[in-house]
Amino acid sequence: MQKFIFTLIAVVIAVGAGCSSVPNQDLTKQQDPKSSPQEAKKKIDYSFVRGAGQQIQLIAVSNENLNETDMLILGSQLRDENASSDFVRISLFSDSRAADLWDKVTVDGGTDEENSFYDKHYIAQYNKNKTTGLDRYELHLAGLDDENTKTINY
């Protein structure tokens, strides 16, 4: 009987591990882009639009790095750069003008044109909260309306 219960628990765990109700692709540490030595050494440049060293940061990424490989490397890089932080929220944009609209769009609502521009260029988000255990990077290269969002829970 004990062997049956152990086998049943193992099957439930194995089946549960393969199930996901979240439509986004969930990438784990095992799929970290640092797996190849060449990519592990690569550093992605970005510029602060606002908030360097603060809890809430807005950064712009160069067009040459707007590909999945580089953006996944950047996610790991941001995680490493903020390893000692208890809380950080980093919004990544493909155009610094969209980052400049952050207050207007998130607080005041913005016009339809501003909201559309903001959404199109808002390409990723890194969030960390040591209190809750949150450590996540979400990538949506085609903007917030991108259905192919990738989520990495570290």
Distance CA 71, CA 61 (A): 9
Distances 61 to 18, 79, 91, 98 between C-alpha atoms, Å: 34, 16, 10, 12
Backbone φ and ψ of 101, nearest 5°: -85, 0
The two tokens of residue 83 are: 């390893």
What residues have CB less than 8 Å from 109, skipping those under 6 apart?
A: 115
CA 71 to chain centre: 9
Distance CA 13, CA 137 (A): 26
Per-residue pLDDT of the chain (154 residues; tens, 9 = 90+): 343 333 333 333 333 333 333 334 444 333 444 445 545 578 999 999 999 889 999 999 999 999 999 999 999 999 999 999 999 999 999 999 999 999 999 998 999 999 999 999 999 999 999 999 999 999 999 999 888 899 999 9
DSSP 31-44: G-GGGSHHHHH---
pTM of the model: 0.73
